């Protein structure tokens, strides 16, 4: 038998039966039970290959393939759940940039702070800094990647400023501590490696960080700050 055929046969059995015992029971006939008078003994004989009406499958092979199939299923489901940008026909540069960074922000390899300046639904100009990884955890970005809604700063983000009402607020997140008393402007300290992210366009963004302005038709201004995590050991 071709090895691939053997694996396919085992996979068919594994998906058909919930447990190895269920598979063994399917191989036992009423005649076997009549003569053996012991279901446990009948199962053992099937497992050893002395009885049975079909494929001989070892317990360790059954359980190994069962575990592998379950891991693959969970991985696929997690991937679909995590990457909300998957399969989207993204046209704007900003949404494309978010999609490129989505997986790395989800797993903690990169932390992106999004600066957005635009007008809200009331026509008021607002701006703010958004902790992308944090928002990914608490919101379903399907609505943003699909174009149903626009991503805008909120008063609960790292910072929020309404240019009409002059309301300014800032909040630390699970990833960043806001340093608001810096005379030269806001600073964000990444909690995993304690590195400072400087969002002042006239200054360097800091160690392991980059500043990327995005040309977009969706907003007045967008800048992405990417920080590569260096967790202390």
Q: pLDDT by residue (tens digit) across 129-146?
A: 999 999 999 999 999 999
Of residues 9 and 21, more confidently modeled = 21
Nearest-10 crossing angle of helices 59-82, 93-107:
140
Across 91-117, b (16+ Cβ under 10 Å) vs e yields ebebbebbbebbbbbbeeebbbbbbbb
Which segment, 45-54, 60-69, 180-189, is predicted with the most confidence on average?
180-189
Q: Tell me, what's the pLDDT at 48?
A: 62
The answer to whether the Cα torsion of 131, 132, 137, 138 is positive or negative is positive
Cβ count near 208 (within 10 Å): 16
**Percent of the chain residues topping a pLDDT of 70:** 76
Cβ count near 184 (within 10 Å): 9
3-class DSSP assignment, residue 14: helix
Q: Tell me, what's the pLDDT at 159?
A: 97
* pLDDT value at 78 more than 80: no
Instruction: Provide mean pLDDT across the span 43-68.
Output: 69
The helix or strand, by DSSP H or E, that contains position 160, with its residue range, turns out to be: strand 159-162
Query: Tokens 């991503």 belong to which residue?
Result: 151
Select from 124, 147, 142, 130 the least CA-distant residue to 216: 147
3-class DSSP assignment, residue 193: coil
* pLDDT value at 93 more than 90: yes
Distances (CA, A) of 12 to 26, 55, 57, 71: 14, 11, 11, 16
pTM of the model: 0.66
**Which string of DSSP letters, residue by residue, matches 21-71?**
HHHHHHH--HHHHHHH--HHHHHHHHHHTSS-SS----HHHHHHHHHHHHH
Query: Tokens 């392991």 belong to which residue?
Result: 208
Q: Tell me, what's the pLDDT at 65?
A: 78
Instruction: Provide mean pLDDT across the span 152-177.
Output: 96
The answer to whether the Cα torsion of 206, 208, 214, 219 is positive or negative is negative
């Amino acid at each position: 038998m071709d090895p691939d055929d053997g694996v396919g046969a085992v996979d068919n059995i594994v998906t058909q039966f919930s447990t190895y015992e269920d598979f063994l029971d399917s191989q036992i006939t009423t005649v076997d039970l009549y003569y053996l008078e012991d279901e446990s003994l009948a199962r053992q004989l099937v497992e050893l290959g002395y009885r049975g009406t079909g494929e001989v499958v070892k317990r360790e092979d059954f359980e190994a393939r069962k575990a592998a199939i379950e891991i693959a299923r969970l991985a696929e489901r997690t991937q679909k759940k995590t990457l909300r940008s998957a399969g989207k026909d993204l046209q704007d540069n900003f949404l494309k940039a978010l999609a490129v960074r989505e997986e790395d922000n989800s797993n903690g390899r990169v932390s992106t702070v999004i600066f957005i300046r635009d007008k809200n639904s009331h026509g008021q100009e607002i701006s703010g800094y958004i902790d992308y990884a944090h928002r990914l955890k608490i919101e379903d970005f399907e609505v943003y990647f699909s174009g149903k809604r626009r991503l805008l700063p909120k008063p609960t983000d790292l910072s929020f400023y309404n240019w009409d009402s002059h309301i300014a607020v800032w909040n630390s997140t699970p990833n960043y501590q806001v340093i608001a008393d810096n005379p030269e402007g806001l600073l964000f300290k990444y909690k995993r490696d304690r590195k400072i992210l400087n969002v002042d366009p006239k200054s360097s963004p800091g160690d392991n960080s980059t500043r990327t302005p995005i040309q977009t038709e969706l907003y007045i201004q967008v800048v992405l700050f990417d920080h590569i995590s260096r967790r202390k050991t």
